[in-house]
Amino acid sequence: MLNTIAKVLECPNCGAPLAPPRFARSVVCAFCRSTVQVDPQAVSASVFRQAFAAWNSPETYGITEYWSIGTSRWKMLRPVASGEISDVFQAERARRPSERVLLKVLRRAEDTVHLEREWEVLRRLQASKAPGATLLTSLAPQPVACGRVEHGPYEGRHALAIRWACGFRHTLESVRQAFPQGIDPRISIWVWRRILELLTALHRSGIVHGAVLPPHVLLEDGEHGARLAGYGRAGESGSQLPRVSPAYEQLYSGRRLTPRLDVMMSARCVAFALGSQCDCTDVPATVPEATAELVRRIAREGADDAWQVREAVGKAARNDFGPPRFCPLIIPS
């Protein structure tokens, strides 16, 4: 007698993996388009469990040093950053086919609530059906695993794994370090527009980020891509902001999660990148008039609609710089 059945199949025509829905009698191969009849007697649960254990075991692939989070096993590649409450590493799944992730490992157990908040918010965003959700699910961090580390040098700590995004090596914080006097104002235009596009989709999903800060704005090498990280303070619009960043307290205004807060902080991030030296509500005199006026106004007053501000940024850019043209951000080696 076979145990409970688990459907683990290969296409007999091309060898590609098949994943038929539960109770399906047939499945179409996504690679060669063959229709395959599903035999419910193919694999018993006990045989599947044995095969899965071997496949999921790092030792099977000659890996002796790894971290475990639940049933997932990870090989650490290199340290990436050190945040306020966590250390961040690049890692890859310790079996084939592998995938790369960022592992955020908490330093203190009392900060677990922030990690769990981030996990729940990211899962909610991936399931969002709001307008703009397709953009959001592709650009927001994609959660992979969350839980207590049970093996390796950080055993006992809590960690969050999010899927690795190639090309996003710089933060707005590191960009300001590379350009102490501020970035080219033309670059600030596309950076701000990308942030506002993400905030639009986020707010339409009922979520406020609450930490639009220089270390949380990721920029793509030589392209016009931007992403937001650091969702540990995010929550539903109108709820209380759980905590502020001591290093960037001047970028906050108020202690309640609202779209206006996010938009205001985005403008203050842009002022910071442009070379602002004080509270990030002003910009250097070298910034053209229309762009400077808009940054100042939004940095001081905020706005409720991120998309309307995005359109205003485009209008200011046309007044100051003329027709749009590609202006990449090149970070010195």
pLDDT tens, position by position, 147-192: 999 988 899 999 999 999 888 889 999 999 999 999 999 999 999 9
The predicted structure's pLDDT at residue 43: 62
Before 21, cis peptide (omega within 30)?
A: no
For the ranges 1-15, 115-129, 263-277, the lowest mean pLDDT is seen at 1-15
CA 238 centroid distance within chain:
23
Polymer length of the chain: 333
Q: What is the mean pLDDT of the chain?
A: 89
User: Would you say 235 and 135 are in contact if contact means Cβ atoms under 8 Å apart?
Assistant: no
Tell me if domain 61-163 and domain 170-321 are identical in fold.
no
CATH architecture of 170-321: Orthogonal Bundle (1.10)
Beta-strand runs (E) in the chain: 9-10, 17-18, 26-28, 35-37, 67-69, 72-82, 86-93, 100-106, 143-151, 158-163, 170-171, 207-208, 217-219, 226-228, 235-236
Q: Which two tokens stand for residue 308?
A: 């309307």
Residue ranges per domain, the chain? 9-55, 61-163, 170-321
The predicted structure's pLDDT at residue 83: 86
The predicted structure's pLDDT at residue 311: 97
User: Would you say 198 and 227 are in contact if contact means Cβ atoms under 8 Å apart?
Assistant: yes
Average pLDDT of the segment spanning 103-107: 96
The predicted structure's pLDDT at residue 6: 44
The predicted structure's pLDDT at residue 254: 81
Statement: residue 1 has pLDDT above 50:
no
Q: What is the pTM of this model?
A: 0.82
Q: Rounded distance, CA 171 to CA 165, Å?
A: 13
The fold of 61-163 is: Phosphorylase Kinase; domain 1 (3.30.200)
User: Would you say 101 and 164 are in contact if contact means Cβ atoms under 8 Å apart?
Assistant: yes
What band does 242 get if pLDDT is binned at 50, 70 and 90? Answer: confident
The predicted structure's pLDDT at residue 217: 96
Average pLDDT of the segment spanning 81-94: 92
